Structures are given as structure tokens and as C-alpha cells.
Amino acid sequence: MTERHLNYIAGEWQPAFGGTTFEDRNPADERDLIGLFPDSDAADVTAAISGVSAAWPAWAAQSPEVRADVLFRAADIMARRADEIATELTREEGKTLTEARNEARRIAANFRLYAGEALRLNGETYPSDSAQLVLSLRQPVGVVAVITPWNFPLSMAARKLGPALAAGNGVVFKPSEITPLMGQRLVEVLLEAGLPPKLVALVQGKGAKVGQAITASAGVDALTFTGSYAVGKQIAASLSTDTRVQLEMGGKNATVVLVDAGIDKAVATIERGAFGLTGQACTGTSRVLVARPLYAELVARLEKSASAIKVGPGMAEGVQMGPLATRVQYDKVLAYVGIAREEGGRVVGGDALREADSNLAHGYFVRPAVVSDLPETSRLWREEIFGPVVAVRPIDSLDEAIKLADDTEYGLAVSLVTGDLPSVLRFARETQHGIVKVNSPTTGVSLNAPFGGLKHSSNQAAKEQGGANVMDFYSRIKSIYLGA
């Protein structure tokens, strides 16, 4: 019996007003229907916004301890349910069970971090003459819309919902249509933790309809989005000028291997950054720039290790790489492998395992690909693929490494493999990337550090996730002049 899931609007679980639904299927086996979810439209969004607008002032008026307590309890529930939710995450998104557990188990720590922030929403006092006291007061923004992608459906959402709620806001949450169940699970956990029922609304939907209704609404005070540059740009263009917006978008991330780097360390760093999560991380490594003397050996070693990766359903024992999350992703990755070949590149891997292996015939399985000897004009140097495809190119100097690493419209994450401190310092200062990793993969971030990119990767509204300014986006500062 197919499970029919619901929206959560104004404190009630309910179908979309229009009555339509969309399917959620397992990318490792598309015959496996996970459930039907409401395919909402503008009417559902309007109801969601009006419910949350009515609810947030009472939440904002609560003492910060009350808000922190809800998030602490949500952390405990998440910790208890992490492995069970991780299994559903693998079924819904495709990542391996190990990757899913890593994501799900971390949510508790995220919620605890933001619970602490609820208690630290400090203002400041400013030097002034003795006739008055000048101070700043932080207040919630109001209704925060949260629009998230599918690749980290729990953590991307938790790191937006957590600070939004900690600061006293209400949230209208639109998860990706690829991972609606994970969005629902997060909302269930928050409600079980005692979040006031109308403070959060969950609006599921396929395509752009729900997002567009959110951006067109005058009732949204702030919108935080993670997804593609194309959609981020549309959101920015359609919002009214007094809506705050935070956009975290794509990346075309490079790992730079300098001549002193040990090959083993370089291979391990690249393999993890490029092929972890089936290459579907916005911080994933898709370009490698390697000192020319190491080029041939590094390419050979990467080809060997990529070929040895066990690809299969994320649930299966010993599998190191799950399927791509959608048919669209699968077709896109294979198209780029085809482009690399047409351009004259050497491609090892990139096979469509769906066609090649009858055990994998119903999922979006692709063998990881290592591409070398590409022309400088190759599209693989510039376009975001979002899959397990890595292109390798030789470099002759640190200057060239910096220039080529930055030769992209994006500027999210870059990594450098070397023990040479002067090169590290220069690279870290000069590169146009928001995250610089040294001797570690482009992927993987600390939950308490600022997260965000430069150029097309981010709109430069306060950085997401952690750091001293994490709450700036979710709160407004009022300057108060107290006269005697």
C-alpha cells in the first residue's frame, strides 16, 4: 500500500489544496516507490505563510531558554533516531549507509550549536555622552523561508531551521522534491521536541511552483536557499527588495597538488573529495591541478583507485559509492563523460553500470571517472557536473595553480596538498574561494565554522552554518538611544 504523505500547514497535517501528488522513488531501484507527497501550489504557500506569520511573535516573546530547550530536545531525539532516519536517507537519496549515518548523526550537534546561539543573541552598548545610553537590540526577522536541495537533505535544512528558530523566527520549509521524506522527518523531530505547532510549515512540491510562490509572497521576511546558481539567480531577481536573501549555490572546486606532495596523500585527498557522496557535494572536487613531474603517476594512481571503488546500492554491505540521486543527474554525468571523449580526453571509468550490470539495472549507477589530457578549452574545466567525474591537468608553478584554480565563475572550496608553508600561505591569501583546505579534501566542513563561497557560489549575505556571525542573517539589529 503506497504511503501518502502530507504537508504540515497551520498546525495540521494535510494534503495539497489541489489534491495532486508526486512520487518519491529510490534511486538505487526506481521500482521502489517510497511514497506520494503533496504537489503543492500557491494556495498552500499562502496558507503556510499566514499560519507562520501569526505564530512567530509568541515564540519570539518566549525566553531564550525555552527556544534553546526545544532545540536541545530535538538534538536528543535526532541522536536517538539517527540510524533509523539514515536508512531512509539512503533509500531516498542513494548515498551509502555510512555516508547517511554520518549526516544523520551530525544533526544533533547542529541543533545543540544553535540552541546555544539562542542564549547568545547579544546586543552591544556604544560609547556615548553621559546623557544617554546607546545600545543595539537583536530581534527576529519574522517569517523565514527555507528552500533546500537534495544532496544533504538533513544537514542543509537543519543548519537553516536551527538558527532561524533559535533567533525567534517562524519557518516555511520547502525541501527538495527529490528528498521530501527527509524534510518531513526533520519537521516531525522538531514537533516532537515541543516546537509550537504553527511555528513551522512544511510545503512539499515538485518543480519551481512552491519556490516561486514563496518568492512572490510579500509575507516572507527572509529567504535562505541552497541549490543551483540558475535557481538562486531567479530567486534573487523575483524577491522584493526588502526581503533578506541568503543564497548558497554551486562550485567548481579544485584540488591542487604541489611537487612535494606525497602521492598517497594526494590520491586519498582527491578520491574522497571527488567520489565521496557519488560526487554530489557542492564542495566536491571536480578539477585536479598537479605539478607536472607528478602528473603521469597521479593520473595512473587515480585511475586505479577509481576503478577499484565498489559501486552499488547504498544499503549493501561493502558498497563504497551509491547511485546518482536522479535520472537527470545520471544522464548529465554520462553526457559529460561523452563530452570528455569527444574533446579528445583520456577517460577511465564513467561507464553506465545500469546498462552493463544486470544487478544494477534499475538504479542510476555510474562508475567514477578520471579524465586527463583534455584541451584547455574543455567544458569540463568550467561547468559544474555534480557527479563522480574528476579532470586532471598539469601545472608548472604556484602562480599557474592559483590562476587556474580561480579560473571559474564559482569560488566555493579549494584544497592544496603540500607541506610547503610559504606556498600554503600565499595560496590561502590569494585564492578566490570561500573555503581553503590544506592537506584535506575539498569536501567536509566543521559545523561551527563559517560556510560559504565567493563569486557565483554565494550572494555574500551572512555566512551560513557557524562562526561568529551565524545569527546575523536570522536577526535584525535595532539601535536604541536611551535618554535619561
Q: Does 463 bind ligand ADP (CB under 6 A)?
A: no
Instruction: Pick the closest to residue 11 from 152, 190, 149 (CA basis).
Output: 190
Among 14, 87, 102, 234, binds ligand ADP (CB under 6 A): 234
Strand order in the sheet with 132-140: 125-126, 132-140, 475-483
Q: Does 228 bind ligand ADP (CB under 6 A)?
A: yes
CA distance 137 to 478: 5
Angle formed by the axes of helices 398-405 and 421-430, to 10°?
30
Q: Residue 99, Cα to own-chain centre: how many angstroms?
A: 14
Question: Shortest Cβ contact with ligand ADP: which residue?
Answer: 211
Among 61, 66, 208, 356, binds ligand ADP (CB under 6 A): 208
CB-nearer residue toward ligand ADP: 269 or 458: 458
Taking CA atoms, 24 is separated from 100, 324, 361, 446, in Å, by: 18, 15, 19, 31
Strand order in the sheet with 12-14: 12-14, 7-9, 200-202, 170-174, 143-147, 222-226, 244-248
Q: Residue 351, Cα to own-chain centre: how many angstroms?
A: 27
Taking CA atoms, 106 is separated from 92, 139, 323, 437, in Å, by: 18, 28, 22, 21
Point out which span in 109-117, 127-135, 141-149, 292-300 binds ligand ADP (CB under 6 A).
141-149
> Which residue out of 88, 93, 99, 248 is catalytically annotated?
248
CA atoms within 13 A on the CB side of 411: 18
Among 14, 20, 212, 448, binds ligand ADP (CB under 6 A): 212
x/- site string to ligand ADP, residues 420 to 459, per CB under 6 A?
A: ----------------------------------------
Q: Does 176 bind ligand ADP (CB under 6 A)?
A: yes
Instruction: Map residue 80 onto helix, strand or coil.
Output: helix
Instruction: Pick the closest to residue 291 from 269, 266, 273 (CA basis).
Output: 266
CB-nearer residue toward ligand ADP: 114 or 152: 152
Point out which span in 42-50, 204-212, 397-405, 429-437 binds ligand ADP (CB under 6 A).
204-212
The position carrying cell 551572512 is: 462
Point out which span in 66-74, 87-95, 227-235, 348-356 binds ligand ADP (CB under 6 A).
227-235
CB-nearer residue toward ligand ADP: 57 or 207: 207
248 catalytic residue (yes or no): yes
Q: Does 224 bind ligand ADP (CB under 6 A)?
A: no
Instruction: Pick the closest to residue 249 from 450, 40, 413 (CA basis).
Output: 413
DSSP structural state of residue 366: B
CB-nearer residue toward ligand ADP: 145 or 270: 145
Residues that bind ligand ADP (rule: CB under 6 A) add up to a total of 16
Point out which span in 70-78, 226-234, 289-297, 312-320 binds ligand ADP (CB under 6 A).
226-234
Residues engaged in binding ligand ADP (CB under 6 A): 147-150, 174, 176-177, 208, 211-212, 215, 227-228, 231, 234-235
Give the catalytic positions in this structure.
248
